[in-house]
A and B are shown apart, each in its own frame.
Chain A
């Protein structure tokens, strides 16, 4: 069997995080992701080569999803300040067309 089915808690993970993790490992894996009626995220991992998907690869994928959840939290919490820093940085650069003059 080449495929492995995994389930993630929809309350602590997100489809976006699972998608990003799958993309990050797309040199070795492909897969399908769907949200179940109960909110869980179901993911079918598909091997790209002839070798079946081992436990190590599943473990790595699960950890990658956890990291993507962390990255999402960092993005969300710092988005405002990131935009502020960029706005201040470029405000006097002449690179932003203000429509004046």
Chain B
């Protein structure tokens, strides 16, 4: 007896097709369909009409494609529902074990004076802007209340190396507590590296601390974006990157860039800088509409379409470099491709629904105030305390995580119930960002036709789907990014 059943065993038993939930969007003369978990296919307008009016044949290429993508099923086909449920559960698998990222703002002091920076202070007054040991201990209490098996503690500022004694104390105390907690514990220092020395590197080596730094592009652009005494931010950052690699290893330092008005005409220069410094990835980020960036008019300096043009040129160039053998990944594209091409959700704060605030990250400010995200604390710097969840000295974990300041924006912004998002074919690739919409429109949901967040993410998803479907040379590169 054959081990395999004949092909007709799996054929449709009739032409009685039933639609499964899906959404559509017309683009470039085609119709994009996405199912409940974001699996996609393109069909024609005529085919959409036949699908919605129940005029599909018993079998054929279209029917097979729709069936494979869980857009239709036969009423008695329970396996389709079970598979779809499993994929939905996979997509939301991170929800029960929430809050893996805990940001400790150990000081607001910084020797840089970057105009786009949300929070830094030029001050020698340690008592006023440094986190105390008592505050750090209370923040650690809250950190280990999170059910997440992975805990990443990220030291931020200001410049966290200006309060390095507290960094060392927190790392050692967290390691001590973790002897019984047994979490997957990781430490990151977000630093401009200007103050890096051998003592700091020794400590990072002994305690497996990672470094995240800023690299805005070539020397002139970086130093213009990131002024400091001596006008040598780029020189210190690149020397620091080399030193970290020599002492700790190549993978121990990552870099982030911030796009300013001065960056917009120079995507290739910025990317070339990352290639020259042998980074395996670059994150082409938009400027955030928070804190000082709005106060100093940096945010209104350019609109979403100009940034999208910058991003498109950058993405094309990165793909071209990959064709030439350079292994460079664009991080935002990789995050979205994982959502487009797999059933996994990478848990990136800005592209989660329910939103990532509180669920993916918590920020403990130097003064003990707890914010739902780093952007939430940036808003507080311009006296908007909407996303302040409490204070480590005054509130319990339950009071913080069940506060209206967290639950209201989470509920209001949930994309599956937000106007237009609920019917948007790109919703599985996008997220809810109540902080962005609050900062730009004054409410947690925003009006989607006018939302820069919505426009940006739809355009990037369209770009990536277009390259994936129509560029056979780019396809394996994009698949590789999705798997990272």
Interface residues of A (CB under 8 A from B): 20, 23-27, 67, 70-71, 73-75, 77-79, 81-82, 84-86, 88-90, 92-95
Q: Is the CB of A93 within 8 A of B85?
A: no
Interface of B is mostly: mixed
Which residues on the A side are within 8 Å of B52 (C-beta)? 70, 73-74
Q: Is the CB of B19 within 8 A of A89?
A: no
A94 to chain B, nearest CB (A): 5
A55 to chain B, nearest CB (A): 19
Cα separation A58 to B42 with both chains bound (whole Å): 26
A75 to chain B, nearest CB (A): 8
Q: 26 pairs across A/B with beta carbons < 8 Å?
A: A24-B420, A25-B449, A26-B447, A26-B449, A27-B449, A27-B450, A67-B24, A71-B24, A74-B22, A74-B52, A75-B423, A78-B19, A78-B21, A79-B21, A81-B20, A81-B21, A82-B21, A84-B81, A85-B85, A88-B82, A89-B86, A90-B89, A93-B92, A94-B96, A95-B95, A95-B96
Give me the 8 closest cross-chain CB pairs, A-B, nearest first. Answer: A89-B88, A88-B85, A27-B449, A78-B21, A82-B21, A89-B85, A89-B89, A26-B449
Q: Is the CB of B19 within 8 A of A77?
A: yes
Q: Is the CB of A71 within 8 A of B96?
A: no
A26 to chain B, nearest CB (A): 5
Which residues on the A side are within 8 Å of B447 (C-beta)? 26
Cα separation A79 to B19 with both chains bound (whole Å): 10
Which residues on the B side are within 8 Å of A70 (C-beta)? 24, 48, 52
B244 interface residue (CB < 8 Å to A): no
From A24, A67, A86, contact of B449 by CB (8 A): A24
Interface size class of B (residues with CB under 8 A): 20 to 34
Interface residues of B (CB under 8 A from A): 18-24, 26, 36, 48, 52, 81-82, 84-86, 88-89, 92, 95-96, 419-420, 423, 447, 449-450
A80 to chain B, nearest CB (A): 10
Asked if A26 meets B450 with Cβ closer than 8 Å, knowing A78-B19, A82-B21, A89-B85, the reply is yes
B175 to chain A, nearest CB (A): 29
Which residues on the A side are within 8 Å of B85 (C-beta)? 85-86, 88-89
A88 to chain B, nearest CB (A): 4
B256 to chain A, nearest CB (A): 31
